[in-house]
Every structure is written in C-alpha cells, then in structure tokens.
Chains A and B, each alone.
Chain A
Amino acid sequence: MSTIKVDTLQTRAGSTAAVTGAGFVATDQIRGNTAANSVTVVAEGGTNTTNLQQGLAKSWINFNGTGTIAARDSFNHSSLTDASAGNHTVTMASAMGNVNYSFTGGVAESNASSASRVVNFGSNFDSDTLDPNFTTTAYSVNTFFCNSDGQEFDVTFISNQIFGDLA
C-alpha cells in the first residue's frame, strides 16, 4: 500500500481541505469528479457500490397537524399549509427535479384512547382527486382513521420523508 502524508489538500484554484486525524478529510463539500452530481460509495458488504446522492433523504419533517399546525423539526422545508381537517400541504425550500419522488411517513396520536391513523400522500379526499398542489416543491399529506371511510382527521404527530432527484 502506498502512503501519501499530507496536512492539506489544495486545488489549483486555491481551495483547501484539511487532512486530520486517522483517515479524516475535513471538507465542507463533496462533488463528483467524473460527474458532479454522482458520488459512489462502497457498500457495507464490500461487493457492491451505492450512490450517495440517491440514498439521501431530500426532505423530512415532523409536524403537529392539530390546531395551528407547526413543524417541530425539519430539513429542506419552507412552509406548511392547513387546507382542511387532515389535509395539509408541505412545501420544500429546494425543488425536486420532477414529481416522481418517493415519500414515506408515519403518524401517531398521543391520546391513549385514540384509534389507529394512517397517512397518505398526494390524495385529496375532499375532492376525490389527486391533489393539485402535488408539484416539485409541494405535496399534500392526508391523515385518516384506519376505518374512517375516507374522512380525514387531524393528527398530533406526523412524519414524512422524501427521496428522489433533487433539481
């Protein structure tokens, strides 16, 4: 194995990245060399590789869907809209590359006597249509009782994660 000992890496333009400790590279930004938008990472098992960009959640949020709805914590999120009971629109700060992104989520009610809730995305049960606000920057979150036959209810704890291509 070859060893290069260095304290600082410097680009031709003068930007630097420090090499510190046991195998740490201290840097603020990672950019692919062959393609700026694609960085490959060796898998845990060592056989395959995976794509760093594709594996990251592009947006996530934990919010309270009751009363005046509000985010508890979030990433790449700009605003929340309370359209109606159990029907909320989440708007992201940085847009996705298209509307074909993947979403997942969970809901919970802290009331011990509460029934199970489910969460859907992009469906507008008030109008029985796909939500018109489903865009590269926004998506609707719809929460229901499991057996509510399409009737939406507000929920105290709502979590969503978005995966896909960032613009």
Chain B
Amino acid sequence: MSVLELNGRVFDASTTGTLTLTSEGGATTTDVTQGLDKSWVNWNCTGTAAVRDSFNHSSLTDNGTGDFTLTVSSAMTNGDYCRSGMAGHAANSQQVVSQAEANTVATATQGRYVIAYANHNLEDSAYAGVVLHGDLA
C-alpha cells in the first residue's frame, strides 16, 4: 500500500474547490469537497447548554427552552446549505424531534434549531446533534 504523507492539506489544481474521488463501485467519481461535512455539533441542551464536541463551530446561543442558535467558525457561501439533526433525552423514553429553523431563515454563519416532543412542546433534550453539508465560502 502506498502512503502519501502531507502537511494537512490537499488542494485542487485550480483552487476552485473541486477534488474528484473514484467511487466505491469504480463506475463513477464523486466530489470530495461536496461530500465533506462542513460542520457538526453535539450539545447538551439541559441546564447551561454546552457543546460536547464539534467541528467548525464557534458558539451556541440558548434562545429559550428547546430553541438554540448555532454559529459556525468558517462561513458557508449562503444559507442554502443542507442540514439535519437528531435529539434524544437520557431521562425518559419520550421521543423528541430536532427541527432546523424555527422562525428564522439560516444565514451563511448561523442556523436556528428547535427540539420538540411529538406533541410540539419544546424541550431541552440531553442530546442534540446537527450536521451541515453544502458550499463553504
């Protein structure tokens, strides 16, 4: 097996953010840059909300029960990125739902997320996670 050791970065030749990778099946290729997750956050919503671990994340704002704003360190190009998340509570079995954007549209640096029970009541869950895919600026 060949090993190529680099000092942390691989750039495309034209620096336009396109880096092609052979697919698992070998029949086609995929775009590494487009496939990479641009930010992820795992946080505790209860008490003083706190991030457990994250990537490309700068701050967490607690807007109220079950209502949070996440800010990325490096901006996306716009607010049209793809976002998804899940939430769960350690203390009981009630299902909670993570929902991107409550009352505000996402921007290049911020997204607002709410955590709710299936009956729509907002809840501070023990575990919440969000992942972003899209175009980094």
Query: Which residues of A are in contact with B by a Cβ distance under 8 Å?
Result: 17-18, 20-34, 36-40, 52-58, 60-62, 72-76, 94-95, 97, 104-110, 112, 115-118, 146-147, 157, 159-161, 165-167
> Shortest Cβ distance from A97 into chain B, in angstroms?
4
Bound CA span A140–B8, Å = 39
B61 close to A (CB within 8 Å): no
> Shortest Cβ distance from A163 into chain B, in angstroms?
9
> Shortest Cβ distance from B20 into chain A, in angstroms?
4
Query: Which residues of B are in contact with A by a Cβ distance under 8 Å?
Result: 1-2, 4, 6-15, 18-32, 34-37, 78, 80-86, 97-105, 114, 116-120, 130-131, 133-135
> Shortest Cβ distance from A44 into chain B, in angstroms?
9
Are the C-beta atoms of A56 and B28 separated by less than 8 Å?
no
Given contacts A33-B2, A107-B99, contact A76 B82 (CB under 8 A): no
A residues within 8 A CB of B105?
110
Are the C-beta atoms of A26 and B135 separated by less than 8 Å?
no
Are the C-beta atoms of A146 and B97 separated by less than 8 Å?
yes
Are the C-beta atoms of B28 and A166 separated by less than 8 Å?
yes
A residues within 8 A CB of B119?
146-147
Are the C-beta atoms of B13 and A107 separated by less than 8 Å?
no
CB < 8 Å neighbour of A159 from B22, B26, B84: B84
Starting from the known contacts A31-B21, A94-B28, A112-B102, 8 additional A-B residue pairs (CB-CB under 8 Å) come to A27-B12, A28-B14, A30-B22, A62-B82, A73-B80, A73-B82, A147-B120, A157-B100
Bound CA span A28–B32, Å = 10
Are the C-beta atoms of A37 and B84 separated by less than 8 Å?
no
Are the C-beta atoms of B100 and A108 separated by less than 8 Å?
yes
Are the C-beta atoms of A23 and B6 separated by less than 8 Å?
yes
Bound CA span A32–B23, Å = 10
CB < 8 Å neighbour of A53 from B23, B86, B104, B114: B23
Are the C-beta atoms of B10 and A72 separated by less than 8 Å?
no
Are the C-beta atoms of A37 and B10 separated by less than 8 Å?
no
